[in-house]
């Protein structure tokens, strides 16, 4: 399979027609070998317009949805970015390629191992800091962050993540209840207050770590 051609087709056929216009973002997704962030058995699906299954019930986010979320974050060169639920590291790689200083959080050891292997081959040394921690709690040691990307669907934005957003910072994710009928949101911290705005509909696989605990049923 000609992956370079597949990347060009992804950009021209999926991203550009869906309002993705940031040239830095288009260049990052045209350049980064998305297939290398996937297990060999599903690498050929890297550039399809759908989520791609990962081990442990996870998924790599559909290219168009990821691109629109990243564009919504309005990255500025040098921004401090946090990626929560980073999986195998593709979203973190996109942000780093665009010029962000990225910290990526992932608690799943096999997915983190892929990220540790692939990222050094795709980016300059130290471009992404990988941390094996629970993504719902963020990473206070690197806060505050100008951008936070929660890379999957969550039922709500956890307080610790919202609290680690810098004044004027932007948080992007998909909010939903696990039925693949989510809504992409933009969260912002302005005047010390954190608010969210729904932006577009999207079907994104949920992040298990962010699931609400089951309550008692009477």
Q: Phi, psi at residue 71, to the nearest 5°?
A: -65, -40
Give the chain's radius of gyration (CA, Å).
16
Check whether 218 has a pLDDT greater than 50. no
Check whether 175 has a pLDDT greater than 50. yes
pLDDT, mean of residues 165-176: 97
Tokens of 146: 């100008």
Rounded distance, CA 68 to CA 20, Å? 6
Instruction: Please identify which residue in the block is written with the tokens 């992007």.
Output: 172
Rounded distance, CA 111 to CA 106, Å? 8
Check whether 217 has a pLDDT greater than 50. no
Beta strand ranges found along the chain (DSSP E): 52-54, 58-60, 80-84, 101-105, 128-131, 145-154, 165-175, 182-190, 193-202
Q: 91-107 burial string, b = 16+ CB within 10 Å, else e?
A: bbbbbbbbbbbbbbbbb
Taking all residues of the chain, what is their mean pLDDT, rounded to a whole number?
Answer: 95
- Going from the N-terminus, what domains does the chain have, and what CATH number goes with each? 3-210 (3.40.50.150)
Rounded distance, CA 122 to CA 213, Å? 37
Check whether 180 has a pLDDT greater than 90. no
Give residue-wise pLDDT tens across range 83-98: 999 999 999 999 999 9
**pTM of the shown model:** 0.95
């Amino acid at each position: 399979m000609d992956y370079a051609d597949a990347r060009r087709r992804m950009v021209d056929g999926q991203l550009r027609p869906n309002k993705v216009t940031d040239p830095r973002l288009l260049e990052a997704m045209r350049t980064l070998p998305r297939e290398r962030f996937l297990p060999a058995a599903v690498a050929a699906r890297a550039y399809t317009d759908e989520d791609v299954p990962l081990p442990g019930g996870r998924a790599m986010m559909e290219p168009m949805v990821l691109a629109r979320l990243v564009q919504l974050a309005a990255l500025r060169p040098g921004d401090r970015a946090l990626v929560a639920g980073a999986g195998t590291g593709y979203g973190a790689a996109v942000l780093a390629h665009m010029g962000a200083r990225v910290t990526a959080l992932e608690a799943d050891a096999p997915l983190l191992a892929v990220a540790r292997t692939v990222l050094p081959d795709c980016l300059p040394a130290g471009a992404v800091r990988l941390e094996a921690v629970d993504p719902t709690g963020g990473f206070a040691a690197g806060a505050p962050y100008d951008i936070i990307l929660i890379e999957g669907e969550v039922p709500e934005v956890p307080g610790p993540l919202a609290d680690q957003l810098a004044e004027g910072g932007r948080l992007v994710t998909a909010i939903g209840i696990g039925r693949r009928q989510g809504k992409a949101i933009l969260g912002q911290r302005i005047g010390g207050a954190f608010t969210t705005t729904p932006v577009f509909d999207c079907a994104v696989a949920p992040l298990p770590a962010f699931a609400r605990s089951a309550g008692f049923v009477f």
